[in-house]
Amino acid sequence: MTQSRMDTRPDESDVTQPTLGPVGTLRWAWRQLTSMRTALLLLLLLAIGAVPGSIWPQRNIDAGRVADYLATHRSTGPWLDRLGFFDVYSSPWFAAIYLLLFVSLVGCVVPRSKMHWRAMRAQPPRAPGRLERLPEHGQIEVDGAPEDVLQIARELLRRRQFLGRYCRLRSDDLSLSAESGYLRETGNLVFHSALIVVIVAVAVGHLFGWRGDRILVTGNSFSNTISAYDTFDPGPWVDTEGLSPFTVAVDKLDVTFEEHASGAQRGAARDFTAYTRTQTSPDAPWVHQILKVNGPLTFGGTSVFLLGNGYAPVITVRDASGQVLMHDATPFLPQDSNYKSVGAIKVSAASPKQLGFFGFFLPSEYLDKDAGPSSFFPDLKNPALALGVYEGELYPQGRPQSVYTLSTEKMTQLRNAQGEPLRLMLKPGQTAELPDGRGSITFDGVKRWAGLSIRYDPGKLLALGGAVAVLAGLIASLVIRRRRVFVRVRAAGRRTVVSVGGLAKGEDPGLGVTIEDLLSAIAQRSGTKT
């Protein structure tokens, strides 16, 4: 550097910055990641990152609403989808936040545990020279020799009232150090470690857990095998062959709706009770059990929940000669709070063309001017079936399809004499003749179905245990005070001056009072009149 400079600051190029090297850089990154400030930042990111999942519909909760959203928001929808806004809690960016937080947690808990282990076994530090510099302190003069006064202070500090039962003492010549509240840090570490346990438990549930759903019409039963489920959603490491071999039969389903209130509460569900028979294995005896919302059935670690219900009209379809082609209860899916339900009846035995009925089941039928056939109450006050009829090929190319809808691409709708689409309106017990000798359809009656959800989550007890430990650790870390109290004595003629100073970790408004109480107790025990 030959040129002169006005600036007196050192030229940055002159400063030889220590090169970190790969190991050093890693160590630096690790320090940053495990620092409390980063943890705080990640916590806030986690809070912000969780919010979109409550605003936009989520695939794991309601895939139908996601599809609706994408259909109505053609420009923004695909972008939101690409950014994972419909699968927030399994999106890479959300995973990045919680994984970093997880690493940060581990990186914080491990070294702190080591430190705490050492601190718990170490002696409190020697009393500092000038106790009046400590945040809380006090001083009095008492009768008696310094050694005796110190002995009194030592005995007093052993008592529970000042620093609790787990107080560690250290005696030096003319001073005394006491430390207590180690459990505060223990609680803190338990809190953080238990959070790790909860996260692990959630992961276990995700990997080894499964859920299946099944709609079961009353009078029927199902066994716990994959083929029995309408939908089955296993975790990646589930042994699908090893499901526990129980059987559940639903004999009867009682449903009560609000009859007396008006307004929004009218027709609200009040009680669902399923009367079931269960077997833990094919050879075991049948047991009668009641299944309710909030009252699942359990088979080992697997639980059966009653989550939904609806109606299954019992229908008989006959051909022109009166031969029964189909006689079955077909579940219809409720669409609104008054159980206007949609469903399809597929008669594959009909010939020459297969028959399909598609339409609504209405537990309390009335004709709405705009919406057509509707239901005014969820219970069976005026049950009716409103159906359209199709003929043709029910399962083109054998493709899988929903049991609740007809795939009409290879079917044609039947029409009446006026050329309008044929509509059947049936009450229980009624039979309708189909045109041109296609046979007849009879609405025999209505059964109910129970929507059962069967879940297995091997991580849930671990999660509960972890959560309880989180709470216990949290309370300990907030309630217990970590304190250091020092006592120093000094002769002043025939009397003794006692100084007490205290130091607390975090907020501790009670420390000053404790020191006052200690001082007055010393005065009292040493016989000093105050």
Partner 1 sequence: MTNQTLAQYANLGVYSAMAVFTLAMIAFAVDLAGAAPKVQAAASETQKEPALVGGGRSDDARVFAVRGDVAGLPRTRRAAGVAMMLTRLGGLLLIAAAAMRGLSVQRPPLGNMFEFALVGSMFVVVVFLAISLRRDIRWLGLFVVGPVLLTLGLAITVFYTDASELLPSLKSVWLVIHVTVATFSVALFTIAFSVTILHLIKAWLEVQDPAGMSRMRTIVNTALPPARSLDRTAYGIHAVAFPLWTFTLIAGAIWAEQAWGHYWNWDPKEVWTFVIWVIYAAYLHARATTGWSARAANYLALAGFGAILINYTVVNVFFVGQHSYSGM
How many CB atoms within 10 Å of residue 287?
A: 11
Shortest distance (Å) from residue 238 CB to partner 1: 16
Is-cis flag, bond preceding 282, omega within 30? no
Shortest distance (Å) from residue 194 CB to partner 1: 11
Shortest distance (Å) from residue 218 CB to partner 1: 17
Q: Can you list the positions of beta strands (E) in 244-296?
A: 247-257, 269-279, 287-292
143 or 328: whose CB is closer to partner 1? 143
Note the Cα 52 to chain centre separation in Å: 16
Q: How far apart, in whole angstroms, are the C-alpha atoms of residue 182 and residue 416? A: 86
493 or 506: whose CB is closer to partner 1? 506
Q: Which residue has the tokens 């995973």?
A: 95
Shortest distance (Å) from residue 257 CB to partner 1: 10
Shortest distance (Å) from residue 463 CB to partner 1: 6
Q: How far apart, in whole angstroms, are the C-alpha atoms of residue 472 and residue 200? A: 19
Q: How far apart, in whole angstroms, are the C-alpha atoms of residue 473 and residue 105? A: 15
| Own/partner long-range contacts of 466-471 (Cβ < 8 Å, ≥24 apart) | 466/194, 466/195, 466/197, 466/198, 466/200, 466/201, 467/194, 467/198, 469/190, 469/191, 469/193, 469/194, 469/197, 470/191, 470/194, 470/195, 470/198
Shortest distance (Å) from residue 139 CB to partner 1: 8
Shortest distance (Å) from residue 489 CB to partner 1: 18
Binding residues (CB under 8 A) for partner 1: these are 36-37, 39-40, 43-44, 46-47, 50-51, 53-55, 57-58, 60-62, 65, 88-89, 132, 136-138, 140, 202, 211, 258, 260-265, 268-272, 292-296, 303, 305, 307, 453, 455, 457, 460, 463-464, 467-468, 470-471, 474-475, 478, 506-507, 509, 512, 515-516
326 or 474: whose CB is closer to partner 1? 474
For the chain, the residue count is 530
138 or 164: whose CB is closer to partner 1? 138
232 or 272: whose CB is closer to partner 1? 272
77 or 439: whose CB is closer to partner 1? 77
115 or 261: whose CB is closer to partner 1? 261
CB 87 within 8 A of CB 60: yes
CB 339 within 8 A of CB 378: yes
Shortest distance (Å) from residue 4 CB to partner 1: 40
Shortest distance (Å) from residue 515 CB to partner 1: 5
137 or 346: whose CB is closer to partner 1? 137
57 or 392: whose CB is closer to partner 1? 57
CB 205 within 8 A of CB 458: yes
Q: Can you list the positions of beta strands (E) in 333-379?
A: 333-334, 341-347, 354-362, 365-368, 372-375
Shortest distance (Å) from residue 164 CB to partner 1: 19
Q: Can you list the positions of beta strands (E) in 101-246?
A: 136-143, 167-171, 175-180, 210-217, 221-223, 231-234
CB 326 within 8 A of CB 347: yes
269 or 380: whose CB is closer to partner 1? 269
Give, to the nearest 10 degrees, the angle between helix 92-121 and helix 36-50. Answer: 150
349 or 461: whose CB is closer to partner 1? 461
Shortest distance (Å) from residue 474 CB to partner 1: 5
310 or 373: whose CB is closer to partner 1? 310
Shortest distance (Å) from residue 486 CB to partner 1: 14
Q: How far apart, in whole angstroms, are the C-alpha atoms of residue 361 and residue 377? A: 12
CB 486 within 8 A of CB 128: yes
Who contacts 441 (Cβ-Cβ below 8 Å, separation ≥6)?
315, 316, 317, 318, 345, 357, 387, 424, 426, 431, 432, 434
Q: How far apart, in whole angstroms, are the C-alpha atoms of residue 394 and residue 245? A: 34
Shortest distance (Å) from residue 89 CB to partner 1: 5
52 or 373: whose CB is closer to partner 1? 52
Q: Which residues of 101-137 are buried (b: 16+ CB within 10 A; e: fewer)?
A: bbebbebbbeebeeebeeeeeeebeebeeebeebebb
Q: What counts of helices (H) and strands (E) characterise the chain?
A: 11, 24
